[in-house]
Amino acid sequence: MNKFISMKRFLLVIPSIDIRDGKTVRVIQGIPELGCKEYGSDPVEMAKIWRAENAKMLHVVDFDGALEHSRKNFQLVEKICSSVIIPVQFAGGIRTLEDADLIMETGISRLVVSTIAIENSNDFKKLFEKYGSAKIAVSLDVLDNQLIIRGRQIKTGISCTSFAKTMSEIGVDRFIVTDVKRNGMLGGPNLPLCEQIIEVTNAKITLSGGIRNKDELMDIQNLMHTGIDSVIVGRALYENRFPCQKLWRLAESGIFN
């Protein structure tokens, strides 16, 4: 008799490595003017640490790129990609097609963009046509229901849901959703915001911002059927809010309920 094994999907926990001036930092609400704390001088070593802790993917944010449209960290990103055997997702400061081509050459697995999609839709369409939905995701940085761009410095007045719907119609099928007020504040995730985006797009969602403990990850695990399949976690991991080794080992062994 043939036996069929049901494979349960588990929430992907993605550690964030935020880079500024070549160092690993955590930035309050992702806005450096509000405060910036160093968590180590070498982002490459931090990538190796998270890989040793059994991370399956990394999220790298280039704050120098986002704030200054600088490419000075591209070589560092390439070192991160070559130092670990897991996918590396990148965000920060990609304003042009040339920026995108150069960062893709570093070996990243997925590029997350925001500003170019809002300010230059023609170039974004070219970028999306070239690399496709598997390689391109769109970041929705939300403040009071409107999108903010350029390193979270400019309010656009654009509704996050209407913009997400437009991107979905182009073919985008993954959004990185961040409630900026909760980012780095350990105030809990904004699940209703994610649900709003899912309702108008039916896309896959990576939730970013606010995660503070294991229980909240379990709550999101139970919502995976809605489309939230991954979370980006920063401060809670760096401040040991939960034992990440135990967490990922539980996920791998199928112990999650």
What's the distance, Cα to Cα, between the start and end of the chain in Å?
A: 28
Contact 167, 138 (CB under 8 A): yes
Best CA proximity match to 110, nearest among 138, 80, 136, 133: 136
Asked if 144 is an active-site residue, the reply is no
Both tokens of 187, joined, read 């105030």
Best CA proximity match to 222, nearest among 170, 178, 257, 189: 257
Best CA proximity match to 64, nearest among 15, 119, 19, 113: 19
DSSP string for residues in 80-126: HHHH-SS-EEEES---SHHHHHHHHTTT-SEEEESHHHHH-HHHHHH
Asked if 18 is an active-site residue, the reply is yes
Say how far apart CA 99 and CA 104 lie, in whole Å: 9
Contact 66, 90 (CB under 8 A): no
Three-class DSSP category at 175:
strand
Catalytic residue among 62, 99, 141, 229: 141
Question: Given the DSSP bridges, would you call strands 174-179 and 154-159 parallel, antiparallel or unpaired?
Answer: unpaired
Best CA proximity match to 236, nearest among 250, 256, 217, 257: 217
Catalytic residue list: 18, 141
